[in-house]
Each structure stands twice: as structure tokens, then as C-alpha cells.
Structure 1
Amino acid sequence: MKLCVAICTRERPKMLRACLASVCAQSVPDWVQAEIVVVENHDRETSRHVAEEVAAETGWAIHYVLEPELGIPFARDRCGTFAENAGFDRVLYIDDDEIAHAGWLETMVEATRALPAEVHYGRVLYTWPPETPSWMVPEQVNKRPSGTVLTKAEGHNTLVETKVFRAREAGGFGLHFDGSMRFTGGSDTDFFTRVHDAGGRIVWIPDALVEELVPVNRTTLRWQLNRTFRVAGNISRLHEKRAGKRKAALRSLLKGLGRIVGGTVLFLPAAASFAVSPEGGRRRAFKAAKQIASGLGSLAYLAGHQQQPYAKVDGG
């Protein structure tokens, strides 16, 4: 296998260096030829020196490519098209704010032999800052066995066969990340949903682990609820792309109202349990608030509201 490990970055050289170090420390099977591409989503080479220094230190072949069109879907798409045009068989995505665990790369590529698929989706663990309220930190339990067939995936920790990007007339799927979602989030879920719809197989590989450090600014109640609100709206837009605006609108109305009612009802036992266990009460109240925020996000879609949270670099 000719493998391209792909890292998208933008003005985050310290994170990029740590990510690259974790990738270069991976064990690579004899039957795999692995190289790295760093795609800088910028019109200036702010991180070329990092790629060149790590390449010199480790001996890895590291390509550095600029993608001046701002937005994560453009950067991820450049990774895929670079790998396909350069003759790589697969592209393995990892975000620049993630650290690969030992055995990550080997686990992913070995999965292609045991579980043939166009996409292999690994697991992401989250490390929360120590000041994070304990009631906000979710349990990180893997609930799906290895090899579970999925209908979608996300863009981090994902191994993708490059034929997905290849033109249809050349035997590929001819698929690309949607640039209209450049700052909204959700372009990765949209892309892999379309891979599934095109007949691509997506399988879950929970032992291929990467770890992401959650930035401090994401540990506030406001940020968490706003993210839940935004994700609900993005999901509604994905349904619109697949089923049309009318069906998406009906679904959003029913889901939105149902979640608001359900979240409101959940507040009652949360308030009651607070007297017995303040920690448990806060956790239940947080869950209820997120359910209401999700419902409001679905209804906001009906009003045409859409946020652009990724217009600025986060966590750099």
C-alpha cells in the first residue's frame, strides 16, 4: 500500500509539530510505503519550517502544500486530490490538534486487510483541561464493536481510499468536500454520507486511537450549548441535500419541537436530584439544556439562520 498521512493546518505551528511528531513515531508495516502531506489553509507559508524541520529530524518524506481558499473543506479536499494525483492508494486524515497513539497507523492499515472498505473510521479520545467542570465532561465509552458498518464518518482519524476522489470516468466516485460549507462545520459528515450513498463502505476501527486536547474556550456552558445548537442546524441542512427542502423542513419542525419539550421535561428530575447530588443535578440539567439547544437549532434552520464558527482559527 502507498499511504499518504494528511494533516490540515492553519497558523497552529506548535500543534502541528506535536501532531507530526506523533505520526513520525508510528510503526509502519513492511508492506506499506508511508509519506505525509501537510496542507496549510493559508496564502502564506506559516508552517513550512515546521514540516521541513520534522522531516530532517525523522527522515520521513513530508510534502508541504498551500491551499489559499480558506475553509476546512478546501483543505481536506486538497489532501485527497493530492494523494490521488500522486498515486497514493489511501489517505489517512488526522487533525493538527490531535496526537496519534502508539500503533495507530498500523491498526488502520491492517484493518484494510481484515475489513475491506473504502473508508475506515478510527476513534478520537478527548483530553479536557483540568478547570473543566466535571459535570460537563462526557463519558468516553466505545459502544460499537470493531468492524461495525456505518452510514457516515467525520474527517479526523479517517482512512480513505483515494478512488473516492478519482473522476467517475476513471473508475472513481468523483466526490469532493462541499466548499459552500467552508465555515459552518459539518462538511466532513456531509462528504462521508455521500460516500455511503454512492456505495462506499464505512467501517468502525475503535482501536485506531488519536487524542485531542479540548481548548479552554470550549469548556464554557455558552460554547457547549452553542455548538449543540449549530450541529442541529447543520444536520437539517444535510437532510435537505439528501431529501429536499420540504422533507428537511418537516423533520426539523418535528425534531425541534420534540427536543424542546423533552429537554424541558428533563429539567424537573434534574432540579429534584440537585438536592441529593449537586453534581448529578448539574449533569442532568446540562443534558436537558443541550436537548433544548438542539431543538432550537433545528427550528433556527427553518428561519434560515446559519452560523460561521470556523471563520477564525480556534485553539491556536
Structure 2
Amino acid sequence: MRVNLCVCTFRRASLKETLNSIDAMIIPEGVTLSIVVADNDIAPSAQSIVHEFNSHSPLSTHYVHAPKQNISIARNACLEHCDGDWVGFIDDDELIDKHWLVAMQTATENSKHGIFLGPVKALYQPNHRQNWMTKGAFHDTTPTFRNGDICSGYTCNVLIRYSDPKVRSMRFDERFGRTGGEDTLMFEQLQAQGLSMTYVEGALVQEPVPDSRSSLRWLLQRRFRFGQTHARVLLEDNLSILTRVRHVTLAAGKALFCYLSALVMAFDAVKWRRWAIRGALHLGVISRMLKNKDIELYGHA
């Protein structure tokens, strides 16, 4: 089992800790692990971090400079340098659990699934006092299920069967490279090609949450962007005006229900915020259906 683990980075010193966590992983017998780091900065700012890591790690680590400040270009640059049977992605501000590879190998044995998703658990700052945030696990990432099936994938903790010819020919859409959503579209395309997804609970990744993200405002903005992404993927099918109106009407009804529920749940610090954040997703759908500009999340320090 040959695994390429990919990390896209943009001006984050946390890359060093991410790489060190990969280096500390248990590598099961019969598994070969290598790392691909794609630097999305105009200047090769992460090169020194990777070179320093190479000086003490036995793992093969390949540095790729992808200076267009477009996350899709960085992800595709990683794929161009992958030669394994499996390709994984984690983020440059995450810490991978030492048992991650063991859990993934166990899950893939005798499995026909093509995409294996693990959980991302938030690590809050020691001085964090937003109890509702930790209690509600608002920064955690796990799959969304519908009727027992996973709706869509993500690249912050995933292993993909790269030996499948359908996967080797797929690339992330560069039009989504500054707004996000390139992974949503990619996984929907892979599902359409017949690759199924499953959840590996033991393949844990942790993500430190900086103070800049420890706010309701940030969570609302993120969910709003998710809604825009969902709408943008729908718009790829060249929807008619009537179909757009139906989507806007449905999203408006859902948003109204969410905010009424938030009002009813005002006594519960977790539940009203959860409903408010869910409502922001539907507002994002409406925004994109009405052709408002997407929020650009990538390419900024």
C-alpha cells in the first residue's frame, strides 16, 4: 500500500507542526508513506520549512511551488506529483493522530469504497471561554449523512483510492480556487463516476482554533460560504430561471424556519446558535442564486 499524503500551504508557520505530526505517525507493515507539500504563495515561503523537515525526517517529502494563490491549482499540483495507490489530504494547520494511517489501512482492507473520510476535532486555546462553542462542537468536521449515505466529501481529512483510473483523471476546478468549494464539486464528480464514500471514525485529525475563528460571526460567514458553494455547484447544470426561483423560494423557507427555531430556542445557548448558523447556509444559497459575488477565502494572508 503506497500512500501519498498531500498538504497545501499558504504562509502558515503551523505547517512545521503539521509535518512533525505526520512524521510521528505509526506506519503499519506493508505501507509506504510519502508527503507532497504544495506551496501556494507567490514566493516559495514554505520551502525552508520543508527542507528543514527533510533534514531530520526519514519520510520522502516533495516540495512543489504552485504560486498562483489558487487552492485548486495547489491541490492539482499535489496530484501531479503523486505516484501511490492512495492519496490523502490534510490541511496545513492540522495535527494528524499517530494512529491515522493504521485506522485508514484497516478501513481500506477488503473494502470497495473509493473515498475514506475521517473526523476533524477542534483544539481550542487554553484561554477559550466560549462554552457554547466547545459544547456544540461547532468547529468539528464530520460527514453529513442522508438516508445512510454520505452527501459530500472534504479535503481536510481524506484518503482516496488513487489507483482507480477515474480518480487519476480528475482534477479540482480552478474556478473555485479562491472561493472554496472545489472539493465539494470534485467529490460530487467522483460520486457520479461511481466512487462511494465511507467514514473512518478512528482516523482522527485535530485542528487548533485561533482566536480569529472563535466567534459566532466567523461561523456564520463560513456557513454562508458553504451555501454559496452548494448553489454554485447547482448552477453548473445551467439552471433555468424557473428552477432558480424554486431553489431561492425553498432556501428562503428553510432560512425562515431556521431563524424562527433560533428564536424559540433562545434559552439554549447551543441550540439557537446552531439554528442561526444553519440559516446562514440557506442565505448563502439565496445570495449565489441571485448572482451576488462569492466570498474569496484563499489567496489572502
TM-score under structure 1 length normalisation: 0.84
Higher helix share: 1
Does structure 2 conserve the Cα–Cα contact (< 8 Å) formed by 1:237 and 1:248?
A: no
Deviation at 1:205, TM superposition (A): 0.9
Query: 1:149 and 1:116, CA in 2 relative to 1: closer, same or farther beyond 3 A?
Result: farther
- 1:309 aligned to which of 286, 294, 297: 297
Residue 46 of structure 1: SS of its match in structure 2? Answer: coil
Maintained 8 Å contact 2:71/2:177: yes
Structure 1 match to 2:258: 263
* Identical-residue share of aligned pairs (%): 25
Q: In 2, distance between residues paired with 1:141 and 1:186?
A: 15
Task: Note the C-alpha offset of 1:300.
Answer: 0.9
Where 1:310 maps in the other structure, the secondary structure is coil
Runs of 5+ consecutive residues of structure 1 not aligned to the other structure: 274-279
- Counterpart in the other structure of 1:11: 11
Matching of residue 46 in structure 1 with residue 45 in structure 2 = yes
Aligned to 1:299: 286
User: What pairs with 1:1-316 in structure 2 (closer than 5 Å)?
Assistant: 1-12=1-12, 14-83=13-82, 87-129=83-125, 130-137=127-134, 138-139=136-137, 150-163=150-163, 174-242=169-237, 244=239, 246=241, 249-271=244-266, 273=267, 280=268, 282-305=269-292, 306-313=294-301
Aligned residue type for 1:154: Y
Q: Go from structure 1 to structure 2 and tell me whether the alpha carbon gap of 1:50 and 1:311 turns closer, same or farther (over 3 Å shift).
A: closer
Relative to structure 1, is the Cα distance of residues 116 and 261 closer, same or farther in structure 2, using a 3 angstrom cutoff? same
Instruction: State the alpha-carbon separation in 2 of the partners of residues 144 and 77 from structure 1.
Output: 25
Identify if the C-alpha distance between structure 1 residues 93 and 291 changes in structure 2 by more than 3 Å, giving closer, same or farther. closer
Q: Which amino acid aligns with 2:284?
A: G
Query: What is the deviation of 1:190?
Result: 1.1
Higher mean Cα deviation, 130-139 or 219-228? 130-139
For residues 68-89 of structure 1, give each alpha carbon's deviation from its aligned partner in whole angstroms, at most 9, with x where no partner exists: 2221111111112210xxx321
Cα drift, residue 162 of structure 1: 2.1
Change (3 A) 1:64 1:259: same
Q: Deviations over 1:31-75 (max 9, x none)?
A: 112111111112322122211222221222111111122211111
SS at match of 1:5: strand
Max Rg structure: 1
How far the C-alpha of 1:195 sits from its partner, in A, is 0.4
Unaligned 5+ segments in structure 2 are none
What's the Cα RMSD here?
2.5
**What amino acid sits opposite 2:198 in the alignment?**
V
Aligned mates of 1:265, 1:290 — CA distance in 2: 13
* Counterpart Cα distance in 2 of 1:189 and 1:289: 23
Following the alignment from structure 1 to structure 2, what is the Cα–Cα distance between the partners of residues 48 and 237? Answer: 34
2:5 partner amino acid: V
Between the aligned partners of 1:267 and 1:108, the Cα distance in structure 2 is 38
Tell me the TM-score normalized by structure 2: 0.88
